[in-house]
């Protein structure tokens, strides 16, 4: 079978049109802007926070101007969410206990994301990256004092594997006041002389998105947010003085400078985007203060990602271990039952299952509408298949409403599962999956499932699933229907490319990645203690 990638490449931006420096050097050509970004908060300079902000919004704004609106509203809280945080913070001030006392050996810093995970026939909530690792680390050596801290301003959750703590529990009213003063002063400096100092060079050289990004970053609200986050991390690390800090790469990108952090390990949590890595490399080259904050070690899932990280220069060493969160894939077919799944959702046992993992929060409403029309339109013509839709956990409720409206207006009975439902179960039972650039595509490949990359935008694909021959690219509803039918019948061409892809990105799906990461942590812990002991 010959599979055709249904992309009109003439309508897309080529890789050659991507600027390797992402407009960073242009925006930093002003000494005034550099001066503001060199302002130190607590553990990091503002340039670190701006780098993270740029990597989150900069590339999407370069290609998709509607993303500027997403950047401007990214930290907006609903009144209900704000009141919940305020109530929890007030309760935290009254009961100052609740967090571990004294020094800790290992602190793991992650984000507020929990998933239903099946272990030994039971389903329970677990932290998606470090959950099983913490339990296994405790089993290895009960004398190692460990804590999981969530770098979000939300109450912690009860987990099967361990207790979790929230960064909000380490923040005092004095820190909030300092953050407010800091945000006001820096915002005022930006308004008075920073913005005027931005000069655009040649026409078409990223000028508009550069100015928009800087305006978005230097808002009072945004600066306060970054300052509170920085003060909270500083407070937590000062309180526990950990020997080793292990961070989710979505939360901490470089080593905190103060207080002292003896060993700092970053763990890859998802696929690594090459375009973002190029931009991060430029930031580290432009700001020498960032170059001094390189991690001691970056743990990656495969050799391809190690090579990328070593080129980026944000870590002194790259170690390939595989991905701990993918250990379950090794035993997935023994853990999950297709029969149980179809019974639970009332699906015809003879029906093929097409899984769509959405990413609405990272796209414009126009693209989301186009995707919904394409997927639901295609499935209306495929009678022998059932559509299962799994939303990204970070998607707001309004996207759930958008999806539900399209389903209700169609002639199909799609299954919309809960946002925190077990993604791996749905990957195991599906016959084909659709996404844009989610890491669920990598997981589907590891489970030997055919994958369709649906990209209805004019943007280039940020991940190379199609280029590597493990997925088929589609950008229209008609081509989507044809491709679904073809792949449900025969995916042999994709199958040939999977072994190489899996080796480069997963190291090995053998269920032992967690154990390999633990060995790295324990070795660094012993090394740091040896140095401090003067042996």
Q: What average pLDDT does the segment 218-244 reach?
A: 93
405 in any annotated domain: yes
Q: What average pLDDT does the segment 147-174 reach?
A: 80
Contact call for residues 154 and 166 (beta carbons, < 8 A): yes
Q: Which residues contact 291 (CB under 8 A, 6 or more apart)?
A: 284, 285, 313
The pLDDT of residue 76 is 47
478 in any annotated domain: yes
298 in any annotated domain: no
Q: Enter the pTM of the model.
A: 0.82
Sign of the C-alpha dihedral computed for residues 449, 450, 454 and 460 taken in this order: positive
Whether 237 has a pLDDT exceeding 60, the answer reads yes
Taking residue 485's Cβ as centre, other Cβ atoms within 10 Å add up to 14
Q: What average pLDDT does the segment 465-483 reach?
A: 92
pLDDT over 90, % of the chain: 50
Higher pLDDT, 213 or 218: 218
The pLDDT of residue 263 is 94
What whole-number distance in Å separates Cα of residue 19 and Cα of residue 519?
39
The pLDDT of residue 72 is 42
By residue count, the chain amounts to 535
**Cα-Cα end-to-end distance for the chain:** 63
Sign of the C-alpha dihedral computed for residues 193, 196, 198 and 201 taken in this order: negative
Whether 67 has a pLDDT exceeding 50, the answer reads no
Q: Which residues contact 456 (CB under 8 A, 6 or more apart)?
A: 367, 370, 371, 374, 475, 476
Taking residue 255's Cβ as centre, other Cβ atoms within 10 Å add up to 22
Confidence of residue 66 (pLDDT cuts 50, 70, 90): very low
How far from the centroid of its chain's Cα atoms is residue 79's Cα?
26
Nearest to 299 by CA among 520, 150, 128, 48: 520
426 in any annotated domain: yes
346 in any annotated domain: yes
188 in any annotated domain: no
CATH number for the domain spanning 476: value is 3.40.50.2000
Taking residue 75's Cβ as centre, other Cβ atoms within 10 Å add up to 12
Higher pLDDT, 121 or 113: 113
Contact call for residues 268 and 249 (beta carbons, < 8 A): yes
The pLDDT of residue 501 is 92
Confidence of residue 75 (pLDDT cuts 50, 70, 90): very low
Q: What average pLDDT does the segment 323-339 reach?
A: 87
284 in any annotated domain: no
Domain count of the fold of the chain: 1
Question: What are the helix (H) ranges across 163-273?
Answer: 173-189, 207-217, 220-240
Got the DSSP string for 194-220? Answer: IGGG----STTSSHHHHHHHHHHHTSH
Helix (H, G, I), strand (E, B) or coil at 132: helix
155 in any annotated domain: no
Write a three-state SS string for 508-535. Answer: CCCCCHHHHHHHHHHHHHHHHHHHHHCC
Contact call for residues 267 and 246 (beta carbons, < 8 A): yes
What whole-number distance in Å separates Cα of residue 356 and Cα of residue 432?
9
The pLDDT of residue 181 is 95
Domain that holds residue 367: 328-506
CB-based contacts of 492-497 (< 8 A; 24+ apart in sequence): 492/1, 493/1, 493/2, 493/3, 493/469, 494/3, 494/450, 494/451, 494/469, 494/470, 495/448, 496/469, 497/468, 497/469, 497/470
Contact call for residues 327 and 117 (beta carbons, < 8 A): no
């Amino acid at each position: 079978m010959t599979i055709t990638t249904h992309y009109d490449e003439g309508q897309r931006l080529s890789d050659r049109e991507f600027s390797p420096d992402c407009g960073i050097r242009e925006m930093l050509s002003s000494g005034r802007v550099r001066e503001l970004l060199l302002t130190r908060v607590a553990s990091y300079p503002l340039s670190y926070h701006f780098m993270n902000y740029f990597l989150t919004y900069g590339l999407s704004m370069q290609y998709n101007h509607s993303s500027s609106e997403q950047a401007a509203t990214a930290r907006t809280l609903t009144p209900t969410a704000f009141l919940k945080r305020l109530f929890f913070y007030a309760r935290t001030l009254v009961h100052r206990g609740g967090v571990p006392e004294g020094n800790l050996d290992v602190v793991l810093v992650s984000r507020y994301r929990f998933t239903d995970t099946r272990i030994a026939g039971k389903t329970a909530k677990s932290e998606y990256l470090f959950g099983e690792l913490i339990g296994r680390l405790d089993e290895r050596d009960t004398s190692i004092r460990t804590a999981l801290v969530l770098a979000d301003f939300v109450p912690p959750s009860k987990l099967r594997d361990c207790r979790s703590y929230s960064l909000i529990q380490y923040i005092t009213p004095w820190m909030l006041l300092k953050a407010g003063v800091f945000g006001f002063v820096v915002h005022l400096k930006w308004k008075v002389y920073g913005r005027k100092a931005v000069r655009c060079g040649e026409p078409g050289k990223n000028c508009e998105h550069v100015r928009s990004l800087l305006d978005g970053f230097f808002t009072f609200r945004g600066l306060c947010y970054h300052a509170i986050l920085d003060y909270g991390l500083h407070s937590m690390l000062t309180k526990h003085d950990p020997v080793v800090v292990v961070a989710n790469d979505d939360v901490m990108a470089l080593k905190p400078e103060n207080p002292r952090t003896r060993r700092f390990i970053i763990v890859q949590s998802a696929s690594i985007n090459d375009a973002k890595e190029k931009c991060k490399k430029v930031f580290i080259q432009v700001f020498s203060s960032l170059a001094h904050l390189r991690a001691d070690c970056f743990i990656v899932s495969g050799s391809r990602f190690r090579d990328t990280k070593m080129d980026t220069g944000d870590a002194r060493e790259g170690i390939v271990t595989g991905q701990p969160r993918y250990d379950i894939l090794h035993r997935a077919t023994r853990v999950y039952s297709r029969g149980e799944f179809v019974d639970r959702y009332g699906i015809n046992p003879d029906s093929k299952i097409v899984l769509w993992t959405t990413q609405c929060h990272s796209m414009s409403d126009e693209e989301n509408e186009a995707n919904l029309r394409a997927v639901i339109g295609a499935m209306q013509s495929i009678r022998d298949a059932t559509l299962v839709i799994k939303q990204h956990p970070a998607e707001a409720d309004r996207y759930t409403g958008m999806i539900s409206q399209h389903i209700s207006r169609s002639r199909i009975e799609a299954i919309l599962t809960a946002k925190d439902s077990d993604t791996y179960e749905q990957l195991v039972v599906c016959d084909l999956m659709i996404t844009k650039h989610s890491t669920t595509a990598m997981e589907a490949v590891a489970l030997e499932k055919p994958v369709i990359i649906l990209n209805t935008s004019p943007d280039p694909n940020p991940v190379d699933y199609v280029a590597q021959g493990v997925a088929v690219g589609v950008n229209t509803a008609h081509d989507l229907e044809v491709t679904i039918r073809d792949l449900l019948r025969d995916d042999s061409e994709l199958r040939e490319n999977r072994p190489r892809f899996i080796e480069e990105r997963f190291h090995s799906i053998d269920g032992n990645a967690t154990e390999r990461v633990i060995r790295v942590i324990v070795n660094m812990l012993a090394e740091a203690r040896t140095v401090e002991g003067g042996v």
